[in-house]
Structure 1
């Protein structure tokens, strides 16, 4: 069946290529394998794309991904919020469109990983051997691991050969050597090296993430007169099982939220911690806790079991995290429980009302709560007219086979507006997690910007991204340049140093390649000026520095003063 598996996998990859138009063949293959290999973590398409490092000086790695307690880390995070003994996962993937594995591919990582995963590493020396994306993501891993409180560490390495029918024994021996190498880097880590032939990759691609779950109640639930509403008590150990996946980690797919929404040091969470840890015979946990609200597309009761389709925990994030944390270190007594509301709601408008109502008391900027904002719905409706699908909720349209080129996530829109209108490309590049914080969110999605400004912002950023990808000199540094170039392009098109939202809304064209080539030289000059001032040689650090943004602004001020003509543009799609 090996030959047939290769043919079937080729068909799968080809279909995926049509969804990932705009990326080169190697990036498309890295995306395909990474998406399916990481499926147990339920990442977004933004997450997977952010980890692709394939290209020159990639060190034999095509993608690198970092997870904390099941959540994807794309920038820095307050690791104190993760509590004691958090789970940290580092995943490295290499993909080759070949008929087999070479021992040399494994040998490369045996040599390179000790250099990249060394706390005492010299990044300037590494910059001569590895590309900026590899250095940046491995730095994020080291910084996160070092700041954690006694983390549990898993390092997984996957080698995928798209046309391989079997694995050679010598390569399996090399894989064992790589596991031993990882143990020398981190003695407490749990290493795993997976060799994936065509059949293994095809099986991963066939697997569908479970969309159903069972919740065990202490007694038969109380149901309401309206169909699909249930209230019941769930024993803490049964709730612990419900929110934990098969690997023992918190199931992030149950929370349409972000790890940064949880803060273990808040007064509320300390109170929950104390209540959970106190063995009080006179007071049950649920007497002192507001409980949890779960929304599901369909709820089917069966005695003390509730079968849930596509469940989401929309209220009770803090309670769930605390139950998981304490339940991971000890067993809960049989007589303690948590109150759970389960609501059947397969209509998005109804879900939005429930999410907003049940979170009305929270001070947290939940992404699930933001998704219900009127402005988010308006952006979604406006972009559909323009042929784009706006994902207010993670992977909503992607799971319906909409191509990546037609998708716009909230993160992407936030980055686009921050760079074009707010003129903070360094924030777009380095602090994606801040988009949902009030001071950023209220500026970007305040509801007072014309809808056309959002379309212009994303169109300009994507035009700049295409230009950088097609330019041989910049295709390996798209992330570092795209937001600063977008800021420059917006200034050039509007002929204003600080264009308003109305100025952006009036744009009906995107910058031409000729204009972007001219502006790219100015952006490079701005980076060079910043590098001389800061003595920094790593481009990702320069791109995250506000001084680089100011330098671009200064360059564009001189550009406007010296250029009186209307810049070349091309019609928007």
Structure 2
């Protein structure tokens, strides 16, 4: 089945300019995502321009390539690839299955969109003002940082994303994260090439490691203090 799909994709691409997303759009998982998105006030652009033609808000319409970028960044922890090759993330069957797996709870896709939208809103109002290119360079890395920080884990399963409490991702928290990620971005040269590099991701995880270690130390001290209080009573 996978081989035949690859043949179809290759043959189609060599003859026409049909987007890869259109060839994937009839897969069952995309039907499930579309149904679930509707229940959450989102419109999955599985059928190109279908919801646009119905007059739905562009901000609520989520394309397959865009969702692929989000999941690649926050679930696979590869925001550099989200930035570097948005149109080819689902071209390869193996990579496609990592993004759109039947093993994933459909809610991770909604949660991912919610987090990404919050990030992009904050980036547009960030001070000092960021250019369109800078926003593009930072948005997926910031989203990944927020997810890992919320879960307090450097490695996590995609399904854990559904457990993130969106109410805890406040504008203040996002702004703080943007500042941290931008400092790393600037230290590496603040270029589009940096955003597409593994070095940027590695540096971000280095910072996350420090934050998570501090959090664990705090919890440890809290636990010891609580234990002492109990023993003294």
Normalising TM by the smaller chain, what interval?
A: 0.7 to 0.9
2:100 and 2:15 mapped to 1: Cα distance? 29
Instruction: Please name the residue that 2:112 is paired with.
Output: 457
Does 1:499 pair with 2:139? no
Deviations 1:132-166, CA, capped at 9 Å, x for gaps: xxxxxxxxxxxxxxxxxxxxxxxxxxxxxxxxxxx
Deviations 1:451-496, CA, capped at 9 Å, x for gaps: 1111111111111101111113244221111100001000111111
TM-score scaled by length of structure 2: 0.80
| Residues 1:402 and 1:563: Cα distance change in structure 2 (over 3 Å) | same
1:496 and 1:516 mapped to 2: Cα distance? 18
Structure 1 residue 405: Cα displacement: 1.4
Question: Larger Cα Rg: Structure 1 or Structure 2?
Answer: 1
Does 1:545 pair with 2:203? no
Matched-pair contact (CA < 8 Å) for 1:425–1:484: yes
| Residues 1:319 and 1:540: Cα distance change in structure 2 (over 3 Å) | closer
| Residues 1:515 and 1:384: Cα distance change in structure 2 (over 3 Å) | same
Matched-pair contact (CA < 8 Å) for 1:529–1:551: no
Match for residue 213 of structure 2 among 533, 546, 561: 561
2:186 and 2:13 mapped to 1: Cα distance? 45
Does 1:400 pair with 2:54? yes
Instruction: Please name the residue that 1:380 is paired with.
Output: 34
SS at match of 2:155: coil
Matched-pair contact (CA < 8 Å) for 2:21–2:65: no
Specify every segment of 5 or more residues in structure 1 that has no aligned partner in the other structure, as ranges: 1-260, 264-315, 322-363, 532-536, 567-573
Does 1:420 pair with 2:55? no
| Residues 1:555 and 1:319: Cα distance change in structure 2 (over 3 Å) | closer
Deviations 1:370-425, CA, capped at 9 Å, x for gaps: 10100011111111110000011222211211111111111111111111111111
Matched-pair contact (CA < 8 Å) for 2:80–2:196: yes
Aligned residues: 206
CA RMSD of aligned residues (A): 2.4
| Residues 1:475 and 1:394: Cα distance change in structure 2 (over 3 Å) | farther
Structure 1 residue 365: Cα displacement: 9.0
1:387 and 1:365 mapped to 2: Cα distance? 26
Instruction: Please name the residue that 2:227 is paired with.
Output: none
Instruction: Please name the residue that 2:101 is paired with.
Output: 446
Matched-pair contact (CA < 8 Å) for 2:123–2:178: no
Deviations 1:43-71, CA, capped at 9 Å, x for gaps: xxxxxxxxxxxxxxxxxxxxxxxxxxxxx
TM-score scaled by length of structure 1: 0.34
Matched-pair contact (CA < 8 Å) for 1:419–1:484: yes
Instruction: Please name the residue that 2:229 is paired with.
Output: none
Name whichever structure is richer in helix by fraction. 2
Name whichever structure is richer in strand by fraction. 1
SS at match of 2:172: helix
1:543 and 1:474 mapped to 2: Cα distance? 18
